[in-house]
Structure 1
Amino acid sequence: MADIRRISRRKSPFTYALRLLVIAYLFLLVAWPVSLVVTNTFENGFDALNAVFADADTVAALRLTATAAVIATAINTVFGITISLLLVRTTFPGQRLLGSLIDLPLAISPIVVGLSLVLVYGGRGGWFGPALESAGVQIIFATPGIVMATAFVALPLVVREVVPVLEEIGTEQEQAARSLGASGWQTLWRITLPGIKWAVVYGVVLTLARSLGEFGAVKVVSGNILGETRTATLAVEEKYLNWEQESAYAIAFLLASVSVLCIIVVSLLRTRTERH
């Protein structure tokens, strides 16, 4: 038995080579590029960040991005929990199709998502666009379109966190609560939601991080109107192409910082859950 343990602990050269390959891959693809954004942002101290917050249009872009991300996250949280309960706790025709459709935003390009929204809600030739605009509601080239595009691309994240937890906890406690006279809402609030709260938190944090960085779909539906529908990610592209690299690096740093903070929060929450 001791020999077997000694052999299992002994690392082969292939294992070390594989580890080195993985580390090099992550360094070249993730760590090094992100670190360059940070170093370029603070190359002249805090001048780049000060310039970003001194520009009213850039501040408006950051505010719009935060607003759209928060609204999209709230929408996806409510519908994500609802869809998860529908997929796990009920049986109906087309259930597998619905589960596949949830993953659609992960499979198609965000540019296609934006174009699809334009075809449905656009003012020129869209299915519902002319009727909505005649009623005074504008979707495309306005904040609602940005929110819809952001919510679409981040849709699966809450669902894919909650569904496995719902399947794991089962229905025994919910059935016991109903047998004791609890209503459906009481069972939901006191039994189901507390059981999936950490999964919901993971999904919310990941959805927020994904929403803040959305570019492709938002670029199609926003119109990139300065001070109105230009988001932070669009501002990064515009400033970089216009040779305002310091501002582009600073905005990218702010977005990346929030995303990294979200990942740290998720890691800490996962560690806390595993301890309990």
Structure 2
Amino acid sequence: MGEKNSAAKYVLITISIVFVGVMLVLPLIAIIVNSLQRGWEFYIKSLTSRYVLSALKVTAVATISALIINTFFGVTAAWLLTKFSFRGKHILATLIDIPFSISPVIAGLAFIMTFGRMGWAAPYITALNKFFVLDIKIVFAIPGVILATVFVTFPFISREIVPILNAQGKDEEEAAALMGADGFTIFRKITLPHIKWGLLYGIILCTARALGEFGAVNALSKARGGTFTLPLEIDALYLSGSSESITAAFAVSSLLVMISIFILIIKNIVEHKSIKKGI
């Protein structure tokens, strides 16, 4: 029996290693190798082109905006769902998970139908622009890219915090309230120390998802050098068809790979810290 279990263990280990190697490691190695096939000078030139730098800036703006918005929303929603009882609580919890079940492309099209020229919000935006002498644009502009990024990433932080708050219970907060502590003090002194590792883990997941988003952003971004993110710029370079642009696409892809590896390292550190703390 022991020999059979040992044999099964090694078979499963072999299958896992082969699968991970073929599906993950080899493609990543291929990206790095192809990105350097024209040398370091071309590699640096590809990463510092005007379009790539613009895409990097848009990606950073969208990611940071999504993190700020989703951190506030995630903590608020998690606290609301775990510390209060109200009618429609389960509906709210279900709605938060919608981005997990809807295609990002559909989300992008939904924003177009909402804020585009034919959308129901278009007359209000036009009236606002006329009244305040503004030029607010959402679809095919930076706000649209931010909206799409926020939509596809907003469940991550709340979903990491909710289980922690459920496990924590309400006893400590209720005791602090009875002793006269206000809501912010209770959150800062009691709630936040409990959720800090879950919050950080959710932020990491949110960042990784925001950096790699393509479908929803593609529907709302049409100006290369203006509203393209890094994934869209990689797609544009690859579809250009020339050998130089394809190599440049691999070079920009390698940048995202390095960022992803860095995020993965931070994720593992956070997981280790959270396990060590018993969270």
TM-score, L = length of structure 2:
0.91
Q: Which residue of 1 aligns with 2:125?
A: 132
Match of residue 113 from structure 1: 107
Verify the 8 A CA contact 1:162 1:200 in the aligned structure 2: yes
AA in 2 matched with 1:51: K
The aligned amino acid for 2:190 is: I
Cα–Cα, structure 1 residues 126 and 179, in superposed 2: closer, same or farther, change >3 Å?
same
**Cross-structure match for 1:250:** 251
1:21 corresponds in structure 2 to 15
Structure 1 residue 46 displacement after superposition: 2.0
CA distance in 2, matches of 1:23, 1:215: 29
CA contact (8 A) 1:61 1:230 kept: yes
- Note the alpha carbon deviations across 1:74-115, whole angstroms, 9 max, x for none: 111110111111111111222112111211111111100100
The aligned counterpart of 2:188 is: 189
Contact kept? 2:140, 2:227, Cα under 8 Å: yes
Name the Cα RMSD after superposition. 1.7
Q: Distance in 1 between matches of 2:274 and 2:42?
A: 39
Match status 1:42 vs 2:41: no
Q: Which residue of 1 aligns with 2:226?
A: 228
Q: Among residues 238, 241, 244, which one is paired with 1:240 in the alignment?
A: 238
State whether residues 69 and 211 of structure 1, in contact with CA within 8 Å, keep that contact through their aligned partners in structure 2: yes
Q: Give the % identical residues.
A: 34
Where does residue 54 of structure 1 map in the other structure? 48
Structure 1 unaligned regions, length at least 5: 1-6
How far residue 219 of structure 1 moved from its aligned partner, in angstroms, is 0.4
Structure 2 counterpart of 1:129, which letter? A
Distance 2:158 2:4 in 1: 41
Hey, what's the Cα distance between the residues in 2 that align with 1:9 and 1:68? 54
Give the Å deviation of 1:68: 0.7
The alpha-carbon deviation at position 213 of structure 1 amounts to 0.7
Contact 1:206–1:263 (CA<8 Å) still a contact in 2? no
* Alpha-carbon offset, residue 232 of structure 1: 1.1
SS of alignment partner, residue 12 of structure 1: helix
Moved over 6 A (4+): 7-10
Q: Which runs of 5+ in 2 are unaligned?
A: 130-134
Alpha-carbon contact 2:108-2:220 (below 8 Å) kept: yes
CA distance in 2 between counterparts of 1:107 and 1:151 reads 15
Output the CA distance in 2 between the equivalents of 1:9 and 1:198.
41
Residue 147 of structure 1 corresponds to: 146
Tell me which residue corresponds to 1:79.
73
Change (3 A) 1:54 1:258: closer
Equivalent residue, structure 1, for 2:264: 263
> Residue 149 of structure 2 contacts residue 210 of structure 2 at CA under 8 Å; is this kept in 1?
yes
Deviations 1:113-161 (A, max 9, x none): 1001111111x21010232134232110110100000010011110111
Aligned to 1:219: 218
Output the CA distance in 1 between the equivalents of 2:170 and 2:2. Answer: 40
Q: Is the 8 A contact 1:68 1:150 kept in 2?
A: yes
Q: Is the 8 A contact 1:129 1:138 kept in 2?
A: no
**CA shift at 1:10, angstroms?**
7.4
The CA deviation string for residues 24-48 of structure 1, in whole angstroms up to 9 with x for no partner, is: 2222222211121112122334234
Find the residue that maps to 2:28 and give its secondary structure. helix
Q: Distance in 1 between matches of 2:260 and 2:102?
A: 22
Q: Name the CA shift for 1:254/1:130 in 2 (closer, same or farther; >3 Å).
A: farther
Q: Paired residues, what number?
A: 268
Deviates most, 173-182 or 19-28: 19-28
